[in-house]
Amino acid sequence: MKKALVLLLTVVLLAGVFSGCGDKEWTGKHEVEMVIDHYGTIVLEINCDAAPQTASNFLNLVRKGFYNKLTIYRVINGFAIYGGDPNGNGTGSSGTTVTGEFISNGFNNPLSNTRGAIGMARGVHKDSASCHFYIMQGDATYLDGDFAVFGYVTSGMEVVDQIAANVTVTGADGYVSLANQPVITSMKVVN
C-alpha cells in the first residue's frame, strides 16, 4: 500500500512538472531583452495586466529559454515580423495553448496592434496561440479585437525595421527560408 501511494505521488508530481504546473502567473509590467544575431537588441515591455494568460505564457517560455536559438521565420515589410516557432515554418508549438485574450473571444484587451506592438500569432481557432509572436512594424488596428497584444517595443524598432527591409522572403506570404532566418540568440526577462 505504501509503495503504491509513493508511486502515485511520484506520477502526480511528474505530471505537474511536464504539464507546466510550475509556471508562474505574472502581474504588472516586465522588461524582456531579445538579442537577434547580426541585427541587435529589441527591448519589450510586457503588460501582464492587459493579457494575463498570454503574457504569463510568453514570460514563462522566455524564463525557460524556449526562444533561445529560435528564429524570425516570417517577414512582411511594412506590416510585421514573426518569430518563436520551434519548427521555423509556422507549424510548431510549445506544447501548450492559451485562451485568446481579445474582444471577439469575450476578453477586453485594451492594447492595440500599432507600430511596436507584440502579440501572439494564432491559427483559425481563437484559443490556439502557443509560442509564435509577432511584432508590428506598421499600424494594423483592424486586427484589434481578434489577436492578443501583450506589450510594446520600448527600444530597438530599428532592428525590426532592418529585419523587415533586409531579409529575403520566399513568396508573398513572407515566409523566410531556414538558411536566411535571423536567429534569436537569446531572450531574457530583465525585470
What is d(CA 108, CA 45) in angstroms, rounded to the nearest whole number?
Answer: 19
Domain assignment present for residue 17? The answer is no
What 3-state DSSP class applies to 30? strand
Instruction: Lowest mean pLDDT of 15-29, 47-61, 107-121, name the range.
Output: 15-29
* Distance (Å, whole) CA 76 – CA 109: 25
Residue 20 falls inside a structural domain: no
Q: Does residue 85 lie in a domain region?
A: yes
**Helix, strand, or coil here: 173?**
coil
pLDDT digits (tens, 9 = 90+) for 86-113: 999 999 999 999 999 999 999 999 999 9
Indicate the average pLDDT of the chain: 91
Domain contains 77: yes
At residue 112, what is the residue type? S
Q: What is the residue range of 72's domain? A: 26-189
Residue the block writes with cell 514563462: 60
What is the C-alpha separation between 13 and 19, in angstroms, rounded? 10
What are 138-167's pLDDT values in tens digits?
999 999 999 999 999 999 999 999 999 999
Determine the Cα–Cα distance for residues 87 and 46; give it in Å rounded to an integer.
Answer: 24
**14 lies in some domain:** no
- Residues comprising the chain, all counted: 191
Q: What is the mean pLDDT of residues 71-99?
A: 97
CATH number at residue 63: 2.40.100.10
Residue 4 located in a structural domain: no
User: Is residue 43 a part of any domain in this protein?
Assistant: yes
Tell me, yes or no, if the pTM score tops 0.85. Answer: yes
- Three-state DSSP class for residue 136: strand
pLDDT at position 21 over 90: no
pLDDT (0 to 100) of residue 185: 98
Which helix (H) or strand (E) segment is 108 a member of?
A: none
With 80 as the cut, is the pLDDT of residue 12 above it?
Answer: no
Instruction: Give the model confidence (pLDDT) of 119-142 as tens digits.
Output: 999 999 999 999 999 999 999 999
Closest alpha carbon to 28 in 150, 177, 188:
150
Residue 12 in domain: no
> What's the total number of domains in the chain?
1
Confidence of residue 22 (pLDDT cuts 50, 70, 90): low
How far apart CA 6 and CA 2 sit, in angstroms, is 6
The DSSP-derived string for 34-97 is EEETTTEEEEEEEETTTSHHHHHHHHHHHHHTTTTT-BEEEEETTTEEEE--TTSSS----S--
Q: What is the model's pLDDT at position 171?
A: 86
